Amino acid sequence: MIETRLVIAWLFTCFLSANLPAAVPTKPNIVIIIADDLGYGDLGCYGATKIKTPNMDRLATEGLRFTQGYAPSSTCTPSRFSLLTGEYAWRQKERKTSILDGDAPLCIEPGRRTLPAILHQAGYFTGIVGKWHLGLGDGITPVDFNGEIKPGPLEVGFDYCHIIPATVDRVPGVWIENHRVVGLDPADPIKVSYVTNISDEPTGLERPDLLTRYRADKQHSDTIVNGISRIGYLTGGKSARFKDEDLAKTVAAKSVEFIERNQNQPFFLEAALFEPHVPRVAGTNFVGTSECGLRGDVIQQIDWEVGEIMKTLDRLHLATNTLVILSSDNGAILFDGYYDHSVEDLNGHQPTGGLRGWKYQVFEGGCRVPLIARWPQQIQPRVSGQMFSLVDLLATFAGLTGQKISQASAPDSLDLSAVLLGTTTNQLRENTVLHGISDTLALREGDWKFIPANGKAKISGQGKGANPNDDRFAANRIAQPLLFNLANDPDEKTNVFAANPDRAAALQKKLGEIKNNGPISK
């Protein structure tokens, strides 16, 4: 019933816009809401019942919900690198694009034609609020959190940023606005190290009794900040340190402010939410609200943040011509360093919607993500099985705003605006490469998925002291090549490699071509 009404409303909107000259009328505002480690099965509209996500479900009902949406990598830094550059991160030789520490240098070349740079050129005011995790500084001089912090978001296309440097579990846990740490007392300078303990503040390892929420594994047991031990050592900057319980409120408030400030011109906002990444901390209003413990509670907190953005767009009458994209940087994970009871409290909830594997891995559970696009003026509400990777947003936005891009600068990004607009039902993206830790690759082509053996590769946990034999990472060690047919085996349970040697060989060859030749074929 609701859907029928939406379709009628959409047809009416189309009728109203029928006299506009171009196929794609006025530049839409664009808001990407990207959650951190949100799984394919974590939203009501993707099947969750123990977690309530009414706002995200409303986005899906009013927009286009993809069942085959992909994060290009199953961890944050490479996935977000691809989103912003249109290039698979594993191609990078010059810059480190694996999971970055909080003092790592910027992994995108300043001045590159990134997604925000293209939109800036198209006349948009561009901003990012929330998680950055793409490095800061030039890599020659160590980044100085007490001075001017650059290059960073503002040198790769954003006009405004209000970010934290890396992850919430990594030091320094401070907000940076444009080039400066917010609320820093110069008399109490910030010092950070990921190598030696430069701090006289207690660590989780020495003083577990000071942890106020939960214990952590060894990698997450360095300096204790706000009762939680982190990765890395920190001293100083006390007045600038964020409180974990306030992060969601800040992301919502800064996103709302950004939209209000820029309501009279085209704007692009990337709202990079922190949940449900560890350490999970729910604001008071969300504690105990879901039926599957803390991880469910913080996903309901995400839903509130999304709702705040949606309410603002409605209040300012911007919703109709705003393209809102909702997705996640990689698939779900339960235990990721903190003993926060997420495994024990699951209560039957399926974070990956039953897909095989988790964050870090090339299986579908690591890379398939929720992906919703709502743009009432142009997108007919529907569900699509067309493949779409976050690496495609750059070329797609360039297409929607009439900007030219070159294969050289965005070699892996496809303009899928026709998919968004529903002018084709074809699979424009025939294949996509999926990427897990230690540069493990897989190729999805049509319904087939091929994962080459990498028995000899050095699999690392990509965290100081992380145990590569931990299941989360070891799952990427593939002893025998794997071939799955996702059409009849969506959970990648049955390896049909032996029965389909030609198919496997063709996929292996294609993966090799994509690796060697750069641009992906259409």
Q: Would you tell me which residues interact with Ca ion (CB under 5 A)?
A: 36-37, 76, 329-330
C-alpha span between 259 and 128 (Å, rounded): 11
For 388, residues 6+ apart whose C-beta sits below 8 A from its C-beta are 66, 68, 69, 70, 371, 416, 419, 429
**Beta-bridge mates of residue 69:** 388
Closest CB 220 distance from ligand NG6, rounded Å: 6
Among 30, 31, 36, 306, binds ligand NG6 (CB under 6 A): 36
Residue 278 found at the interface with ligand NG6 (CB under 6 A): yes
Closest CB to ligand NG6 among 41 and 337?
337
Residue 276 found at the interface with ligand NG6 (CB under 6 A): no
Residue 279 found at the interface with ligand NG6 (CB under 6 A): no
Among 169, 270, 412, 415, binds ligand NG6 (CB under 6 A): 169
Tokens of 481: 């090549």
Closest CB to Ca ion among 169 and 329?
329
Closest CB to Ca ion among 28 and 337?
337
Q: Which three-class secondary structure state does DSSP give residue 379?
A: coil
Residue 130 found at the interface with ligand NG6 (CB under 6 A): no
Instruction: Provide the 8-state DSSP code for 399.
Output: H
Residue nearest to Ca ion (CB): 76
**Site of tokens 């504690």:** 287
Closest CB to ligand NG6 among 355 and 421?
355
Among 69, 50, 48, 141, CA closest to 103 = 141
Tokens of 392: 């495609």
Cα distances (Å, whole numbers) of residue 171 to 59, 176, 237, 501: 34, 13, 11, 48
Residue 231 found at the interface with ligand NG6 (CB under 6 A): yes
Among 466, 478, 504, 511, binds ligand NG6 (CB under 6 A): 466
Which H or E run includes 267? strand 267-272
Residue 298 found at the interface with ligand NG6 (CB under 6 A): no
Residue nearest to ligand NG6 (CB): 463
DSSP character string of 468-510: TTSHHHHTT--SS-EEEETTT-TT-----TTT-HHHHHHHHHH
Among 113, 133, 374, 435, binds ligand NG6 (CB under 6 A): 133
Residue 376 found at the interface with ligand NG6 (CB under 6 A): no
462 binds, among Ca ion, ligand NG6, none (CB under 5 to 8 A by kind): ligand NG6
99 binds, among ligand NG6, Ca ion, none (CB under 5 to 8 A by kind): ligand NG6
Residue 462 found at the interface with ligand NG6 (CB under 6 A): yes
**Beta-bridge mates of residue 431:** 445
Closest CB to ligand NG6 among 470 and 489?
470
For ligand NG6, the binding residues in 387-416 under the rule CB under 6 A are none
463 binds, among ligand NG6, Ca ion, none (CB under 5 to 8 A by kind): ligand NG6
295 binds, among ligand NG6, Ca ion, none (CB under 5 to 8 A by kind): none
Residue 219 found at the interface with ligand NG6 (CB under 6 A): yes
Q: Is 498 exposed, middle or buried (0-12, 13-18, 19+ CB in 10 A)?
A: exposed
152 binds, among Ca ion, ligand NG6, none (CB under 5 to 8 A by kind): none
Closest CB 417 distance from ligand NG6, rounded Å: 28
Among 53, 68, 75, 327, binds ligand NG6 (CB under 6 A): 75
For ligand NG6, the binding residues in 314-343 under the rule CB under 6 A are 330, 336-337
Residue type present at position 171:
V
For 299, residues 6+ apart whose C-beta sits below 8 A from its C-beta are 38, 42, 43, 51, 53, 275, 276, 290
C-alpha span between 52 and 58 (Å, rounded): 12
Among 385, 293, 338, 272, CA closest to 33 = 272
Closest CB 446 distance from Ca ion, rounded Å: 27
The phi and psi torsions of 387 (rounded to 5 degrees) equal: -75, 140
Interface with ligand NG6 by CB under 6 A: which residues?
Answer: 36-37, 75-76, 99, 133, 167, 169, 219, 231, 277-278, 330, 336-337, 461-463, 466
